[in-house]
Structure 1
Amino acid sequence: MSQQTPDAPAGSVLPPVGSGKRVRVHHLAAAKAAGERLTMLTAYDAPTARLFDEAGIDLLLVGDSIGDNMLAHENTLPVTLEEMLPPARAVARSAKRAMVVVDLPFGSYEGGAQQAYSAAVRVMKETGAHAVKFEGGARVAEQVRVITDAGIPVVGHLGFTPQSENILGGKRVQGRGDDAAERLCEDAVALQEAGVAAVVLEMVPAPVAARVTEILTVPTIGIGAGPSCDGQVLVWLDMAGMGDWSPRFAKQFGQVGAALRQAAQAYAAEVRTGAFPAPEQSYQQ
């Protein structure tokens, strides 16, 4: 009897780590049908992508959240398509199993189907990624349809959509109230009918996210949307404790920031005292 790894329970429909097989669109649908939860984290560079891939994370999102997490912007709005390409390329080159999804940043798809198609094709050709993601419901259904008709998988994004935070009045929970919940469900169905492979639900009341998950045949991936979604996603810095603050919906599963700070302090102390480099770190003639 073969030993089951933690990331590949008996009967898993997802490729096991080390199998040489990639998580693909059909695996997402199969996971939802089987009731198997999907895991997703952001990644912006090669080292973290490799580590998360080896850990068995199913999808890696090269998010425009790179703007406020890595590039010191206040939000995601300043991020350009040009800035998304190098990190996407690094993540796609480093992940052997995970499906790599890349955000189309603000201003690269809202102008219509042709603009969105051109941006999506550029991402796929220049990075080696496996899907693109962008925000909006029925208003971007035509963009989704054109891109998927071209053979490019699309992941949708509903609820709080960071690129629209100015018109939404800031970082606010979306889908509260019967009318708002109904509109969210209608947008989710419109995205599914247009051909999305999955839908991210961000900052949505848990009962509303559960309802969307129930009515869709494609998987939902929640972030601040409760436990009933078909999968979960977090910004990796929030997940790993890399900052002094994290949003309410995030849980810190480690304290990487504290460990990194301690390592830097220990390095600095040894350099100042002359303890580093020692003979074992030095070359002799």
Structure 2
Amino acid sequence: MNKKMTINSIQKCKGVRPLVMITAYDALFAKLFESSADMILVGDSLNMSFAGRKDTLSATMEQMIYHTKSVCNGAKNSFVICDMPFGTYTNKEDALKNSMRIFQETDADCVKIEGGQDRATTIKYLVDNGIAVCGHIGLLPQSVRSEGGYKVKGKTEEEKIELIKDAKAVEAAGAFCMVIEGVKAQVAKEVALSVSIPVIGIGAGVDVDGQVLVFSDMLGLFEEFTPKFVKKYLDGASLVREAVENYSTEVKNKKFPKVEHTY
């Protein structure tokens, strides 16, 4: 079993080797991912992947706590990050109250908060009160409705400057690492070079400090749409569908259960 990552060991990977992050929402898959991933993110993407919702905004604190507990139970040796759901950190007091709930009710190692310069004060307040924070800049899924869709960032010089300011503000506030999402690759590279903490990319090119993917995307289980940045490492949906069809056929033809499956 791999040694569990810590905030210090994660930060020491900067400039040494890329970090591997993957989402998980239950004990079963978390245990499967534990040996390969440096960090497991319990993402608010769970309602998109498994509840048929169009965005991440419907995730609640109760859901995030339940799923984080499950992931921690399945992957006891993993560094686990819990997404702070939409509406739970609109001010620093609510952010602290809700992140304390996560720390008290689960074994999560840190929380993740979307936002850059606008969230720096909140991040610092959490860190000053013993909450480890992973930042999230660039495309912010929780802002999809206010921005009118998922829009790639870093297309202009002005956007690049703001992203670098965001990254530096998140670092100065005390976050130990950050996710950068949906950003032009060259800009994401410059952002990663502008700070001393790891910058984990999703749809941000290869020249950052690591990568994160939603597991149902990379395993080919989610079929509604496939973002450009996703590589499918398995045709999971077809394999599952085929297995269930084989089961159905054997049941209907009384080929299952056989003697070896019978008491």
Q: TM-score range by the shorter chain?
A: over 0.9
Which whole-Å CA distance do the structure 1 matches of 2:109 and 2:241 have between them? 35
Instruction: Please give the per-residue CA displacement for 1:83-106, whole angstroms capped at 9, x wherever unaligned.
Output: 111110010111133210000000
1-structure distance, mates of 2:145, 2:154: 17
**Is the 1:58–1:97 contact (alpha carbons within 8 Å) kept by the matching residues of 2?**
no
Q: Which moved more, 1:144-153 or 1:131-140?
A: 144-153
**Does residue 248 of structure 2 align to residue 268 of structure 1?**
yes
Percent sequence identity over aligned pairs: 37
Secondary structure at 1:32 match in 2: coil
Map 1:66-105 onto structure 2 (within 5 A). Answer: 66-105=46-85
CA distance in structure 1 between the partners assigned to 2:121 and 2:74 by the alignment: 32
Structure 2: how far apart are the matches of 1:78 and 1:213?
Answer: 31
**Root-mean-square deviation over aligned CA pairs:** 1.0
Question: What TM-score comes out, normalization by structure 2 length?
Answer: 0.97
Check whether the contact 2:49–2:222 (CA below 8 A) recurs between aligned residues. no
Matched, 1:132 2:132: no
Alignment-mate amino acid for residue 79 of structure 1 = A
State how far apart, in whole Å, the 2-side matches of 1:71 and 1:127 are: 22
Are the counterparts in 1 of residues 178 and 199 from structure 2 also a CA contact under 8 Å?
A: yes
* AA partner of residue 51 (structure 1): L
| Alpha-carbon distance in 1 for matches of 2:10, 2:227 | 27
Instruction: Indicate if the aligned counterparts of 1:137 and 1:190 stay in contact, CA closer than 8 A.
Output: yes
Is 1:119 the counterpart of 2:101? The answer is no
Query: Aligned partner of 1:42: which letter?
Result: T
Q: Which amino acid aligns with 2:254?
A: G
Aligned length: 262
Q: 2:197 is matched with which residue: 218, 226, 246?
A: 218
Letter of the aligned partner of 1:173 in structure 2?
A: V
Structure 1 runs (4+) greater than 3 angstroms displaced: none
Shift of 1:49: 0.2
TM-score, with length taken from structure 1:
0.90
Q: Deviations over 1:190-235 (max 9, x none)?
A: 0000000111010000011000110110000000000011000000
Cα separation, 2, equivalents of 1:208 and 1:116: 30
Larger relative contact order (Cα-Cα within 8 Å, sequence gap ≥ 6): 2
Gaps of 5+ in 2: none
Given that 2:68 and 2:82 are in contact with CA atoms closer than 8 Å, whether structure 1 keeps it comes out as yes
Counterpart for residue 15 of structure 1: none
CA offset at residue 246 of structure 1? 1.3
Could you tell me which of 25, 28, 51 is aligned with 1:47?
28
Q: State the secondary structure of the residue aligned to 1:199.
A: strand
| Residue type at the aligned position of 1:144 | I
Cα deviation digits, residues 15-47 of structure 1 (max 9, x gap): xxx15x3111001111104x2110000000111
Task: State which of 9, 31, 34 in structure 1 corresponds to 2:13.
Answer: 31
**Paired residue for 2:39?**
59
Deviations 1:93-136 (A, max 9, x none): 111332100000000001x1110001111011111110100100
Aligned to 1:22: 4
Gapped runs of 5+ residues in structure 1?
1-17
> How much does 1:256 deviate?
1.8
Q: Is the 8 A contact 1:99 1:130 kept in 2?
A: yes
